[in-house]
Amino acid sequence: MLVFKILRRPEWDAFRAAGETAGAPVDLADGFIHFSTAAQLAETAAKHFATESDLVLVAFDAGALGPALKWEPSRGGALFPHLYRRLVLAEVVWDKSLPLGATGHIFPEGVL
């Protein structure tokens, strides 16, 4: 199963340059890296990135993230994947641009 992280372009560039990341500012503040499942992605993008256009959608294999990935209740009581360690660039399955269209973000085909 894939889990997803939405990053702003500078966050993605810094992750690629360093080879690892502790996450975006919200992740650093909360003490874990926030992920979404495919079913949660559209709402996450709309809620946290509504007006942002230069985003990158990054996919990870949930099973490969190991025991540091915890499923915890969040928005509406739904279980969200949270990672309690740094992410390593080698764990990225794929990355794709996440542009903002007239009615919201345009997700890569087959993701939602």
Quote the pLDDT of residue 106. Answer: 96
Residue 15 and residue 7 in contact, taking contact as beta carbons nearer than 8 Å: yes
pLDDT by residue for the chain (112 residues), tens digit each? 999 999 999 999 999 999 999 999 999 999 999 999 999 999 999 999 999 999 999 999 999 999 999 999 987 889 999 999 999 999 999 999 999 999 999 999 999 9
Residue 57 lies in a domain: yes
Residue 108 falls within a domain, yes or no? no
- Amino acid letter for position 23: G
23 occurs within a structural domain: yes
Return the residue matching tokens 């199963």.
1
DSSP one-letter string for 44-86: HHHHHSTT--SEEEEEEEGGGGGGGEEEEE-GGG-EEEEE-S-
- Counting the structural domains of the chain, the total is 1
Tell me, yes or no, whether 62 lies in a domain.
yes
**C-alpha R_g of the chain:** 13
53: domain range? 2-97
In a domain, 112, yes or no: no
Is residue 106 one of the residues assigned to a domain? no
Question: Any residues with CB less than 8 A from the CB of 51 and at least 6 apart, and which?
Answer: 100
Residue 102 in any domain: the answer is: no
Residue 64 sits in a domain whose CATH number is 3.20.170.20
Angle at 78 between CA 56 and CA 110, to 5 degrees: 40
